[in-house]
Amino acid sequence: MPTPEAGYPIIPSAAGIATASRREPSGRNRERAGGAGRPGGIIGLMAGNTFGKLFRVTTAGVSHGPGYVCIIDGCPAGLELSVADLLPDLRRRKPGQSKLTTQRDEADEPEIWSGVFDGKTDGTPIGLLFRNADQRSGDYGDIKDKYRPGHADYTFDAKYGFRDYRGGGRSSARETICRVAAGAVAKKLLALHGVRVLGYVTQVGSVKADIPDPTAVTLDQIEASPTRCPVPEKAAEMEALIDAVRKDRDSIGGVCELVAVGVPPGLGEPVFDKLKADLGKALLGLPAVTAFEYGNGFAVAGMRGSENNDVFTASGVLASRERERPEHSEPPVAHAPGSPIVTATNRHGGMLGGISSGMPVVCRVAVKPTSSIPRPQPTVTRTGEPTEILVKGRHDPCLLPRFVPMGEAMVALVLVDHLLRAKTSRLDAPRT
């Protein structure tokens, strides 16, 4: 094992992890690996930058580098696509859109470098480029040797031996600009199959909004408030809370609910690639997400089977019940058009056995308070010396408003990947 040298401490970790993430080349390979500039010839390996199996998205870039690159591989040829198709969701994600978000000023205008010809996808990888323009790397000079509470600074050092301390480097939420762009492409493909994905904020701190029918929420209702909560009264309370937290130099967390309507039955695999598992991985892979649930979620822990089960019925019977429904009674649950079998309720969140049922896919994620807060906090340096840290820079007092398009994007990417995979699962697969 290499020994510690100035500026590159060797941080203890499990032997297997250390071997996998930092290898010491020998001989000629040491020079090729840049051993002269890195002590002991350490090379860091960073895997896990590609998501999906048939519809694959690869991202590269760091928050304070020149920009970000996104490669979308597996998009079928013939989809009409332009920069204008990507901009609506990118603008919902971009910084500086209200006083509730970070004031970093980025245009977030994508450049399409490949994969589109004469306004349509040509079946080759779609290459997107985003240029960073408003970095303030100097804001992070004072903390390059300090560990920010709640951030991945220490864990990056433990894995790779050193890190890009400017704005979080590779772990910065700015990377999600690539996911949102890829998600916009996925959404356009899904729309051709009658699938719609929407997300909204249901909770900020102690303020909770009740959404009795998630499938009835519209984009206009969501975008009517900078909080992206579709209930006006609660949206106003959330906005006031976020503003108060910001003035107190603190941050606040919350919950985002995500709904996919029109999802056909049969998406997902029965064992390792369950639809629910892939959605969980996709959403938990977003920065600041600490919990995921779908359907009744954690509430099932206090229920009986008779309370949690959804009764199956024919879609025609459900339509008949809708016509006979009293004016003020609870509305029925929407389902994918053409599904012959449906459930009267949707406690299962649109997935049974890890496979879509044709009912709306409904899930929720908890998003933690922003770790970067502009108030002094105790911490340690890279050598373990106690110190104090004050994080500068521009940060969201609440991540939820800008998180919504990120969550939508990841749900869309999972669904479109499984939609393409479903076409290979049986010889007589119905056209969706």
| pLDDT confidence of residue 248 | 92
What pLDDT band is residue 281 in, cutting at 50, 70 and 90?
A: very high
Q: Residue 151 in contact with residue 63, Cβ under 8 Å?
A: no
Q: Of 196, 217, 199, 180, give the one whose Cα is nearest residue 85.
A: 180
How many Å is the Cα radius of gyration of the chain? 23
| pLDDT confidence of residue 36 | 42
Q: Of 37, 49, 61, 16, give the one whose Cα is nearest residue 159.
A: 16
Q: Residue 104 in contact with residue 96, Cβ under 8 Å?
A: yes
| pLDDT confidence of residue 64 | 79
Helix, strand, coil content of the chain in percent (nearest 5): 30, 20, 45
Residue 25 has pLDDT above 60, yes or no: no
Which tops the pLDDT comparison, 429 or 234?
234
Least confident range from 158-167, 211-220, 224-233, 311-320: namely 311-320
Residue 30 has pLDDT above 80, yes or no: no
Least confident range from 148-157, 222-231, 252-261: namely 148-157
What pLDDT band is residue 414 in, cutting at 50, 70 and 90?
A: very high
Which tops the pLDDT comparison, 312 or 47?
312
| pLDDT confidence of residue 404 | 97
What pLDDT band is residue 352 in, cutting at 50, 70 and 90?
A: very high
CA 406 to chain centre: 5
- Spans of all domains in the chain: 1-45, 50-422
Q: How many CB atoms lie within 10 A of CB 23?
A: 15
Please give the DSSP secondary-structure letter assigned to residue 67. Answer: E
| pLDDT confidence of residue 32 | 39
Which whole number is the average pLDDT over 118-136? Answer: 89
- The HSE-up count of residue 63 (CA atoms within 13 Å, CB side) is 24
What pLDDT band is residue 133 in, cutting at 50, 70 and 90?
A: confident
Residue 94 has pLDDT above 60, yes or no: yes
DSSP secondary structure letters along 163-175:
---STTGGGSGGG
What pLDDT band is residue 318 in, cutting at 50, 70 and 90?
A: low
CATH for the 50-422 domain, from 3.40.50.720, 3.60.150.10, 3.30.200.20, 3.30.450.20: 3.60.150.10
What pLDDT band is residue 97 in, cutting at 50, 70 and 90?
A: low
Q: Of 280, 232, 236, give the one whose Cα is nearest residue 258.
A: 280
Phi then psi for residue 240, to 5 deg, are -65, -40
The tens digit of pLDDT for each residue in 167-206 reads 677 888 889 999 999 999 999 999 999 999 999 999 999 9
Q: Residue 250 in contact with residue 397, Cβ under 8 Å?
A: yes
- The HSE-up count of residue 35 (CA atoms within 13 Å, CB side) is 13
Coil, helix or strand at residue 294: strand
| pLDDT confidence of residue 1 | 42
Which whole number is the average pLDDT over 326-348? Answer: 74
Residue 228 has pLDDT above 50, yes or no: yes
Least confident range from 93-107, 192-206, 357-371, 395-409: namely 93-107
Residue 62 has pLDDT above 90, yes or no: no
What pLDDT band is residue 373 in, cutting at 50, 70 and 90?
A: confident
What pLDDT band is residue 135 in, cutting at 50, 70 and 90?
A: low
- The H-or-E segment that residue 315 falls in is helix 315-324
| pLDDT confidence of residue 430 | 61
Coil, helix or strand at residue 112: strand
Least confident range from 82-91, 289-298, 387-396: namely 387-396
| pLDDT confidence of residue 162 | 77
Which whole number is the average pLDDT over 323-327? Answer: 53
| pLDDT confidence of residue 99 | 64
pTM of the model: 0.85
Least confident range from 27-41, 132-146, 274-288, 291-305: namely 27-41
Residue 12 has pLDDT above 50, yes or no: no
Which tops the pLDDT comparison, 392 or 377?
377
Which tops the pLDDT comparison, 391 or 98?
391
| pLDDT confidence of residue 4 | 42
| Burial grade of 26 (CB within 10 A; 0-12, 13-18, 19 or more) | exposed
Residue 29 has pLDDT above 80, yes or no: no
Residue 10 has pLDDT above 80, yes or no: no
Residue 347 has pLDDT above 60, yes or no: yes
